[in-house]
């Protein structure tokens, strides 16, 4: 009986994934208008997207750039930063950070030449802002492959679709033009430390 339900759950999960696109939609960039080659690959801005690295949705062609090169998400557009709960003008706030191997800084620099930046802060579910300047448990390290390493979290590695990095100007959290990340939270996160701490302190973004 219970085995039956486990099997049913399996079928459900697998079917849910079978007709998905070659990458999370939040990591796909608009490559509409790119050049299609004879072998059906599309070249856009010097990046070649083979057939298995793009998909068409709603008349727009989306390229899975993160399948091709290391990428990270920047929460807001290039000329913007987070101002409280929204993206706003960056003014003169500069954005820079080191790339780590574990917790050891590498000499890979600058980040914007190493990573392709995807501008998006979309999460499937809840999101939370962490603040390493206020709580050392929020310390994070961006890895060369675009993974975020959170040594003090239960789930220590986050894929590019699970977080975005940005300059934050958030009065309520005493963040003035500092670099931090918004985490996309999973069900597991919500019940494991230190994420429940984020909830207790109300550090949530609702957009
Ligand atoms: C995708 O890019 C094309 C060409 O630049 C543009 O016309 C279109 O509006 C874009 N679509 C979306 C959904 O951003
Ligand atoms: C398809 O064409 C592009 C551009 O000419 C090339 O870079 C790529 O390697 C080709 N892919 C295959 C699978 O032949
Ligand atoms: C499809 O694209 C149009 C025009 O870009 C947009 O208004 C509409 O919301 C899109 N629909 C979906 C489901 O994304
Ligand atoms: C940005 O920098 C320029 C030149 O350094 C300065 O004139 C301007 O007032 C600054 N803007 C803001 C919003 O701080
Ligand atoms: C990315 O790099 C980290 C270590 O820097 C590693 O633990 C992780 O498995 C890598 N992830 C992928 C998807 O390669």
> 94 C-alpha to center of ligand 4: Å?
12
In the prediction, which pLDDT does 189 show? Answer: 76
In the prediction, which pLDDT does 13 show? Answer: 40
pLDDT of 14 over the 50 cut: no
Query: What are φ and ψ of residue 67, in 5° steps?
Result: -80, -15
Q: Is the pTM of this model over 0.85?
A: no
Pairing assessment for the beta strands 116-119 and 71-74 based on DSSP bridges: parallel
Find residue 176's DSSP bridge partners: 169
| Ligand 1 atom at shortest distance from the alpha carbon of 61 | 1
In the prediction, which pLDDT does 194 show? Answer: 55
- Which range, 13-22, 81-90, 188-197, has the best average confidence (pLDDT)? 81-90
Burial 160-195 (b: 16+ CB within 10 A, else e): bbbbbbbbbbbeebebebbbbbbbbbbeebeeeebb
Domains of the chain: 3-67 (2.30.160), 71-200 (2.170.180.11)
Question: Residue 152 to residues 41, 72, 122, 141, 157: CA-CA distances in angstroms?
Answer: 42, 21, 24, 11, 11
Ligand 4, atom 8, lies closest to the CA of 92
pLDDT tens-digit map of 126-171: 888 888 988 888 899 999 999 999 998 888 999 999 999 999 998 8
């Amino acid at each position: 009986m219970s085995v039956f339900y486990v099997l049913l759950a399996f079928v459900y999960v697998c079917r849910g994934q079978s007709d998905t696109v070659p990458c999370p939609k939040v990591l796909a960039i608009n490559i509409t208008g790119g050049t299609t080659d004879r072998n059906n690959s599309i070249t856009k801005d010097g990046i070649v997207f083979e057939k298995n690295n793009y998909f068409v949705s709603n008349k727009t062609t989306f390229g899975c750039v993160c399948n091709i090169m290391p990428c990270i998400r920047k929460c807001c557009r290039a000329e913007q930063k987070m101002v409280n709960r929204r993206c706003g003008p960056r003014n003169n706030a500069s954005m820079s950070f080191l790339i780590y191997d574990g917790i050891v800084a590498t000499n890979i620099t600058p980040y914007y030449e190493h990573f392709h930046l995807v501008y998006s802060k979309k999460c499937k579910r809840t999101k939370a802002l962490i603040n390493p300047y206020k709580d050392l448990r929020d310390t994070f390290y961006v890895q060369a492959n675009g993974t975020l390493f959170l040594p003090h979290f239960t789930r220590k590695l986050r894929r590019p679709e699970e977080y975005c990095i940005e300059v934050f100007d958030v009065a309520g959290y005493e963040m003035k033009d500092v670099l931090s990340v918004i985490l996309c939270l999973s069900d597991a996160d919500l019940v494991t430390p230190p994420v429940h701490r984020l909830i207790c302190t109300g550090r949530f973004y609702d957009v």
